[in-house]
Amino acid sequence: MPAELKCDALIIGAGLAGLFAALNIDPPLDCVIVTKEDVNTSNSWMAQGGIAAAVSPQDDPDYHYEDTLVAGAGLCDSEAVRVLVEEGPSDVEALRAMEVPFDLNDDGELHITREGGHTYKRVVHAGGDATGRETVKVLAQIAASRGNIRIIPNFFLIDLLKHADTGECTGALFMDTASGAFSAIRARGVILATGGIGRIYLRTTNPAVATGDGIAAARRAGAAVTRMEFIQFHPTALYLPDSDSAFLISEALRGEGAKLVGRQGGRFMKNAHPLAELAPRDVVARAIFEEMARTGEPCVFLDITGRPLSELRARFPTITAECLKHGIDISKDLIPVSPAQHYLMGGVAAGLRAQSNIRRLYACGESGCSGVHGANRLASNSMLECLVFGRRAAEHISGLPQPEPGAVVYPKLPEGTREPDIQDIRRKLGELCQSGAGAFRTRDGVEKGMEALAELETDMESAAFSKDMWETVNMLTVARCVFEACLERRESVGAHTIDGSERLM
C-alpha cells in the first residue's frame, strides 16, 4: 500500500491553468499541486506571445468572440467561447492585481499587440516575449506563500484513483521520481492541468515533459477524450539544418510587422489570405508548407530587418538572443522558419466548469477540451483558457461535498521485465506522427501510421516498469487517440487536412 496524503483539491500540473486554479480554491480548503518536474518546466513557462483578451477601449468581447469562432473553423463550442471572452478580461485584471509585470506603453498603459486571426489588438504580454515565464513566476511565488497550497515537485502521475462503488475520481497515484517511491493523494476533486502531447512529434515547440500523461491517465480511467485530430502546427519555429529543435519565433513578431518571405524575398501570404501574415495559424502553416513544396526549400523566412537591434532586443529579448546564438542578427538577417507541432486543440472532454464525464475529475488548459478552440486555436487564446477554465474548475470544486467513504481502486502496475530501447521507440513514434498525422494527411498515411504504431505498442509489451517506460506508454496512448480521430474525421477542417476531401473551412 503506497503512502497516502489527503487534501481537498488535487491539481496535477503547475503550468498556468494549475497555478491559477490553485489560487482560486477557497482558502479554508487545502490544495496540493503536483508537478512532474518543477514550475519552470511547462508549455506555459515557455509561452512567448501573450494573453488575448478584449481589454483595450477599442475592443469588445463580441469581436473577440467572432474572431475565435472564425479561427475555430465552425467547430467551436459557442457557449464556452462566450464564457471565455466575457470572463477573460477580469481574469487578466486579476493577474494585474497579483502584479504580473505586463509590458506597458510610454503612457503607462498596457502595451497591446496583435497576432494572427485577431481583427483588433488584444494580446497583452510580459518580459517582451516571455509572457509565460513572467506570469508563472509570479503565480508560483504567490502559491508558495499561501498556507493552503502545497507544491510537490518531481511527482509523476501514474494513474487516477476511482471510488470502488461510485466510480468517482477521488485522487491519483504518483511516483516520486527522486526516490522511486509511490504515493497516493486523495482529494474531493482532481484537476488535470497536465498540458499537451507535443513530444509524440519529432518537431515540436513543446518541452520534453509534454508527453500527454494526464490525457492518457484520464482515458485509462474511462474519461471521454475528444477532438484529438486537431493538432496545431505553429507556422514559425526556427529552422536549423541538421536539428529537430524547434525554438518558437512568436507570432507577435508578425503582429509587430514581420513579413514571411521566400529565399528571394517575395511575400507569399499576400495572395493566400486577406489578413496575409496575420491570417489564422492553420492557414499560414499550410501556406508555408505549400511554399516549401513549391520551391523545394526546407524553410521560408521571417523578415523583421531594418529595425535597430536595440529596439528588437527590448521587445523580443528571448528570440533575439536565441537567434544570435545561431549567428542570426534579426535586425539584419532573415530568420529561417518552418512549421512545428505546437498545440493540441482536443483533450479530455470538459464542460463549462471544466468537469469531465467522471464526477470529481476536471481538465483544463491544454489537457482539457473545453471546445473554445474548435478546429484551430486563435493565437494567445490558450493562456486565457487556462485562466478562465482553471478558475471555473476551482470554483466548482470548492462547492463539492466530501466523497462517500469507501474503498478505492488502485491501478495494477505492469510487471514485465523486458528492457526495450525506449529512445528508439520514441524516435520512431516521432517520425510516424510527423509523417502520418502531420499538417497534411492522407487516409493511406494515417492507416500506415496506425500499423507502425501497433508495432511500437507490441515492442512495449512486457516492458519493465519505470518512469520513462510509463511515459512512453502514455505517448503511444495519446498517439493512438490522434490517429483514430484522424481516421474518423473525413472532411478537411481547420488544422485537420486530409487528402481527397473537401475543405469545410
Give how far the C-alpha of residue 161 lies from the chain's centroid of Cα atoms, to the nearest Å. Answer: 24
Q: Is 382 in the site for ligand SIN (CB under 6 A)?
A: yes
Active site residue 203: no
β-strand partners of 126: 102
**For ligand SIN, the closer CB: 223 or 252:** 252
Residue closest to ligand SIN when measured from CB atoms: 49
**For ligand SIN, the closer CB: 45 or 470:** 45
Instruction: Name residue 275's amino acid.
Output: L
Phi-psi label, residue 242: left if phi above 0, alpha if psi -120 to 50, beta otherwise:
left
Q: Is 251 in the site for ligand SIN (CB under 6 A)?
A: yes
Residue 291's H or E segment, with its range, is: helix 281-295
| 88, 383 contact by CB (below 8 A) | no
| 376, 230 contact by CB (below 8 A) | yes
C-alpha cell at 257: 510587422
- Binding-site member from 252, 276, 350, 453 for ligand SIN (CB under 6 A): 252
Residue 226's H or E segment, with its range, is: strand 225-226
**For ligand SIN, the closer CB: 255 or 420:** 255
**For ligand SIN, the closer CB: 234 or 426:** 234
Which SS3 state, helix, strand or coil, does residue 217 take?
A: helix
Q: Is 53 in the site for ligand SIN (CB under 6 A)?
A: no
- Considering only the stretches 47-55, 90-98, 182-190, 348-356, report the one whose residues sit in contact with ligand SIN under the rule CB under 6 A: 47-55
| 161, 186 contact by CB (below 8 A) | yes
Give how far the C-alpha of residue 165 lies from the chain's centroid of Cα atoms, to the nearest Å. Answer: 34
Q: Is 380 in the site for ligand SIN (CB under 6 A)?
A: yes
Q: Is 379 in the site for ligand SIN (CB under 6 A)?
A: yes
# chain residues binding ligand SIN, by CB under 6 A: 10
- Residue (of 143, 132, 116, 210) closest to 433 by Cα position: 210
DSSP 337-373: EEEEEEEES-EEE--TT-B-SSTTEEE-GGGEE-SSS
Minimum gap (Å) between residue 215 Cβ and ligand SIN: 19
Residues comprising the chain, all counted: 505
Catalytic residue, candidates 281, 391, 441, 489: 281
Minimum gap (Å) between residue 91 Cβ and ligand SIN: 16
- Binding-site member from 250, 341, 376, 477 for ligand SIN (CB under 6 A): 250
**For ligand SIN, the closer CB: 26 or 66:** 66
Q: Is 206 in the site for ligand SIN (CB under 6 A)?
A: no
CA distance linking residue 178 with residue 187, whole number of Å: 23
- Considering only the stretches 3-11, 91-99, 376-384, 489-497, report the one whose residues sit in contact with ligand SIN under the rule CB under 6 A: 376-384
**For ligand SIN, the closer CB: 184 or 302:** 302
**For ligand SIN, the closer CB: 47 or 272:** 47
**3-6 and 368-369 strand pairing:** unpaired
DSSP 154-167: SEEEEEEEEETTT-
Q: Is 49 in the site for ligand SIN (CB under 6 A)?
A: yes
- Considering only the stretches 96-104, 138-146, 245-253, 363-371, report the one whose residues sit in contact with ligand SIN under the rule CB under 6 A: 245-253
Scan residues 308-347 and list those touching ligand SIN (CB under 6 A).
343
Residues that bind ligand SIN (CB under 6 A): 47-49, 250-252, 343, 379-380, 382
Q: Which residues are catalytic?
A: 281
